[in-house]
Amino acid sequence: MSERRLYLDKGVGEQRGVVTLDGRPERLLIARDSDPLELRLGARHRARVRKVEPQLGAAFLELAGGAEAMLDFKPDARPVQGASIEVEIRAEPRRGKLALARAVGPAEGAPQMLAPPPGLKAQLAAFAPGVKVTEGPSAREVADEAEAEALAVIHPLPGGGSLSIEPTRALTAVDIDVGERQGQETKRVARQANLAALAAAARLLRLKGLGGIVVFDLVGRGHDGAALTEAARAAFRPDNPGVAIGPISRFGTLELLIPRRTAPIAETLCGEGGRPTVRTLAQRLIRQAEREAAADPGGRLILACAPAVAEAAGPLVEALTARIGARVELVSDAALREDDLRVSLR
């Protein structure tokens, strides 16, 4: 039977929640102090219907603070332009895409956030009710591991082989490679690799926060469609309601539709080019500083980084100083690359 554990890393300027499945990261939730709460999953709003597009079956909503969201509607439930409506965020925005809302009921008045989204601890508890949330150094270690795995592209499979997960604007492609996987019968080796990849990919897609159309490029030919479909149904059961599984095509691909709910982790941590943002690098610098501060409670810390990272790290250093005392110095060094983060003791 699968075992889930919960971890909460309370860092400076950022909290990270992790759900593990049988010891491996399954979900990573990130909340930064600077993040707007209006568009987080579960936030409730009194919104104004700014525009209705009947041909799309969608309405564009104005939320508090000028934020926007989109509401899908059925022909018999078309909202009225200019009307107020109570909604809840059911899918966070992605790069180039608005957040999605669901209608709760009629409302009156100007746009306003009626209820904030649940905190990380409450979100974690929903994934594993009754399980204790672990905090402290072990939570940080698990969160660091989860973050690294969430940003990786190629992942090893149990028993050999690998899979790659690469999102595009239209869909997410999952490629399976048997690699050096051992076996006497080629068809059996391919079948085992495909089954292992479905289980691993389900966990990894949840970890990465990816949904929408997912296409698996299966290994081999002459697939056992019934067995693979049942394996996919079991692997993606935690993503219900809303999972749809298509038949295996004549090209050897399996297509799924997985509900989108949270923003992709890569979009939270990285820019459009796939490189970590300066805020992400600043958070890593502060975590390094916290580790050094814990190792030497009386030492003076020198934090050196590129100017852009230093600018992002400034408020975090102030918050760190409030925690550990005035023994932190931030040095902006134009000779350093953005990803060159240095923490030393004096």
Specify the amino acid at residue 71: L
Helical (H) or strand (E) element with 213: strand 212-217
> Cβ distance 89 to 117 under 8 Å?
yes
Nearest in space to 41 (alpha carbons), one of 5, 12, 17, 9: 17
Cis before 158 (ω within 30): no
Q: Looking at residue 222, what is its pLDDT?
A: 86
Sign of dihedral through CA atoms 32, 146, 90, 44? Answer: negative
Measured CA distances, 231 to 190, 201, 234, 258, 326 (Å) = 14, 12, 5, 15, 55
What tokens were used for 50? 């700014």
Long-range pairs of 181-188 with CB within 8 A, sequence gap ≥ 24? 181/157, 186/220, 187/220, 187/222
What average pLDDT values come out for the chain (346 residues) when binned by 10 residues? 91 97 97 92 97 94 94 92 96 94 95 96 96 97 98 94 94 92 76 95 98 95 91 96 95 96 96 94 97 91 97 97 94 97 92
Give Cβ neighbours of residue 20 (< 8 Å, ≥ 6 apart). 4, 5, 6, 7, 26, 142
Pairing outcome for strands 68-72 and 99-106: parallel
44-114, what's its fold?
OB fold (Dihydrolipoamide Acetyltransferase, E2P) (2.40.50)
Residues 6+ apart with CB under 8 A from 4: 19, 20, 21, 26, 127, 128, 131
pLDDT at 180: 74
> Domain extents for the chain?
4-36+118-145, 44-114, 152-265, 276-345
What gap in Å lies between CA 225 and CA 230, rounded to an integer?
Answer: 8
pLDDT in tens, 49-99: 999 999 999 999 999 989 999 999 998 889 999 999 999 999 999 998 999
The pLDDT value given to residue 242: 95
Report the pLDDT value the prediction gives residue 6, as an integer from 0 to 100.
98
State residue 221's pLDDT score.
86
Please give the Cα distance from 189 to 101 (Å, whole number). 44
Question: Is 4-36+118-145's fold the same as 44-114's?
Answer: no
CA 220 – CA 181 distance, rounded (Å)? 13
Distances in whole angstroms, Cα of residue 201 to Cα of each of 163, 249, 317? 8, 19, 38
pLDDT at 183: 63
pLDDT score recorded for residue 184: 61
CA distance 216 to 223: 13
Cβ neighbours of 94 (radius 10 Å): 20
Q: Which residues contact 198 (CB under 8 A, 6 or more apart)?
A: 216, 228, 231, 232, 235
- Nearest Cα neighbor of 165 from 149, 181, 189, 179 is 149
The model's pLDDT over 318-334, given as tens digits with 9 standing for 90+, comes to 999 999 999 999 999 99
Distances (CA, A) of 62 to 80, 98, 107, 138, 184: 13, 11, 13, 42, 61
Rounded to whole angstroms, how far apart are CA atoms 78 and 17? Answer: 38
Q: Pinpoint the alpha helices (H) of 183-306.
A: 186-208, 225-235, 265-269, 278-295
User: What is the CATH architecture of 4-36+118-145?
Assistant: 2-Layer Sandwich (3.30)
Tell me the C-alpha distance between 309 and 260, whole Å: 31
Question: What's the pLDDT at 185?
Answer: 78
What is the C-alpha to C-alpha distance for residues 114 and 38, in angstroms, rounded to an integer? 10
Strands 133-134 vs 14-21: parallel, antiparallel or unpaired: unpaired
